[in-house]
Amino acid sequence: MKRLLILEDGTVFEGEGFGAEANVVGEVVFTTSMTGYQETITDQSFNGQIITFTYPMVGNYGVNRDDYESIAPTCKGVIVKEHARLASNWRNQMTLDEFLKRKGIPGIAGIDTRALTKKLRSVGTMKGSIVDPADQLEHSFDQLKATVLPTNQVAQVSTVTPYPSPGVGRNVVVIDFGLKHSILRELSRRECNLTVMPYNTDAQTILDLCPDGVMLTNGPGDPKDVPEAIEMIKQIQGKVPIFGICLGHQLFSLANGADTYKMKFGHRGLNHPVREIATGRIDFTSQNHGFAVDETTIDPEKLMVTHVEVNDGTIEGVRHRNYPAFSVQYHPDAAPGPHDGVHLFDEFMEMMDAWKEQA
């Protein structure tokens, strides 16, 4: 089944369709991950995006029950060079094709992903659409150009009602901006008693739960589209320890006077080297974000930069100078990816314990 990938600059790629047969519009991005396509597709930070995999073959080990980062993925589509029709792995439960069909997500194979990625690197991410060749191309382009991408992405993926993930240890409130299950996994491994709350939960509701700490999770889109979360962070910092990841890092920085900006093509992959400034330690990290904190806007009396990206020097971590609170741009929980940064969860545990002793 022939399908087309069209970009808003007029570029057309022809390929073979797999997965669902839907026509979709989304922001076309690329990830340099060599593995972990199931975790990537089910990561809610890809909400509304069409994911280009730079690794040549995708789908060869199928889809299994263990590697979901969410149950209902909300990416718009999948672009690959070669789609593996047969899946060979002892954990395999279904093929990638079958999984995408069940989730209503279209895929397109046979695309020159190298050329597509080079284009996105040179001109930046852009709107794209997966359509049928039988459709009138001019009309498809008109529809693509007229489509306004949504800005309520966090509201689309955050839980609507609070729910518990019981444990026997520290009480942690998790603010869900589009969380990955691996964050809950790491906290549960440390026996934390978790309460997951919607993105728009107010500060008093959080403090009424008497948490030992608050986790600000990852999520999709522009952090400035979630002003209620920024206000909430302002009101809880100093009253409870905070750990922010990815979107949570950007929101924490905005709450302390810094600014954020949209990157040209973002960081998406498992191989991003990050340097801890204090020690010089290099961690290879899993990342998925299209926005970053502007270093020139950081108030040195409030925030201290703790980590930077080795390749482009962008901000990868900050710590509050006066309160027990820190955040990182990358995913220390990984999934998929290297677990170099997983020690940050232990630092969060130590921070909560130290805060409790002072109280």
- Output the known binding site for L-glutamine: 45, 219, 221, 247, 250, 288, 290-291
In contact, 175 and 199? CB cutoff 8 Å: yes
Between CA 215 and CA 333, with CA 262 as vertex, the angle to 5 degrees is 30
Under 8 Å between Cβ of 243 and 348: yes
267 is catalytic: no
Q: Is 201 helix (H, G, I), strand (E, B) or coil?
A: coil
Q: Could you give the dihedral angle defined by the CA atoms of residues 144, 246, 270 and 20, in that order, rounded to the nearest 10 degrees? A: -40
State how far the Cα of 80 lies from the Cα of 102, in Å rounded to an integer: 19
Helix axes 247-255, 227-236, angle to 10 degrees: 70
Catalytic site residue 210?
A: no
CB 265 within 8 Å of CB 254: no
Active-site residue, selected from the candidate residues 97, 181, 246, 267: 246
Nearest Cα to Cα of residue 50 among 6, 99, 102: 6
Binding residues: 45, 219, 221, 247, 250, 288, 290-291
Active-site choice (176, 212, 333, 340): 333
CA atoms within a 13 Å half-sphere pointing along the CA-CB vector of 206: 30
Q: Give the SS3 label for residue 205.
A: helix
- Between CA 30 and CA 79 the distance in angstroms is 9
- 339 among known catalytic residues: no
Sign of CA dihedral 252, 253, 255, 261: negative
| Catalytic residue numbers, as ranges | 246, 331, 333
